[in-house]
């Protein structure tokens, strides 16, 4: 009889849902704790490199992946002021063949919903609106104390709770601080139907390239 363990996964983002799915497929019991009340808000586009796309294709199948993914053959770098070409990065077919995957473009929320569906169908239990206040590793079994005061015991705790990780703090024994990089990032999504009617912007939709402005 194979060993079955209980896992608590703190964080229900892409990493947390992916590990929940694989652990459930291996026969373990998995409970994911996510502080947000539902699947994450729209977060813009996501570049899916070959090492990730081949896993998604293996887990979900070609048909399911093709519903939300578009191929990317390269990145065209353009001057932000003039729109002229500055450079080009091509994903050579021979390289992609060796990696066993494709370079895809997907919406972040589509990947999250796909992983959520895979994890729950495999048997993972996912609790939204559940915030972990602290993690203890020194007891006979590790435990997570929720913001409500409830204590959950398990065999193994996995931290997938981002940069300000409660689990990382428990492992390292001190608070984890991140240094601001000094950049402001903005992400947005524009419907393709609004772009195809513009002669200058139409190529951004009909091309299998990513356009990067600098």
Q: Calculate the CA dihedral of residues 156, 162, 163, 164 and round it to 10 degrees.
A: -70
Residue 48 near residue 69, CB atoms below 8 Å? yes
Q: Which CATH architecture has domain 6-213?
A: 3-Layer(bba) Sandwich (3.50)
Residue 160 near residue 35, CB atoms below 8 Å? no
Classify burial at 85, counting beta carbons within 10 Å of its beta carbon; exposed 0-12, middle 13-18, buried 19 or more: exposed
Q: What is the pTM of this model?
A: 0.87
pLDDT in tens, 53-91: 999 999 999 999 999 998 888 888 888 788 788 898 888
pLDDT in tens, 118-150: 999 999 999 999 999 999 987 689 999 999 999
Structure tokens at 177: 């601080």
């Amino acid at each position: 009889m194979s060993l079955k363990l209980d896992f608590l996964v703190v964080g229900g983002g892409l990493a947390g849902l992916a590990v929940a799915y694989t652990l459930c497929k291996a026969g373990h019991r998995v409970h994911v704790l996510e502080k947000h009340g539902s699947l994450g808000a729209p977060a813009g586009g996501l570049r899916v490199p070959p090492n990730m796309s081949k896993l998604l294709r293996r887990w979900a199948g070609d048909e399911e992946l093709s519903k939300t993914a578009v191929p990317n053959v390269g990145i065209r770098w353009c001057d932000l002021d003039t729109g002229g070409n500055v450079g080009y990065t091509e994903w050579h077919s021979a390289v992609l063949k060796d990696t066993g995957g494709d370079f895809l473009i997907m919406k972040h929320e589509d990947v999250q919903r796909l992983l959520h569906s895979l994890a729950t169908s495999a048997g993972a239990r996912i609790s939204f609106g559940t915030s972990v206040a602290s993690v203890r590793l020194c007891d006979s079994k590790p435990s997570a104390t929720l913001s409500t005061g409830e204590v959950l015991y398990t065999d193994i705790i996995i931290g997938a709770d981002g940069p300000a990780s409660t689990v990382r703090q428990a492992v390292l024994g001190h608070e984890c601080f991140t240094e601001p990089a000094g950049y402001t990032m903005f992400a947005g999504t524009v419907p393709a139907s609004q772009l195809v009617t513009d002669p200058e912007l139409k190529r951004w939709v009909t091309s299998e390239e990513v356009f990067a402005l600098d």
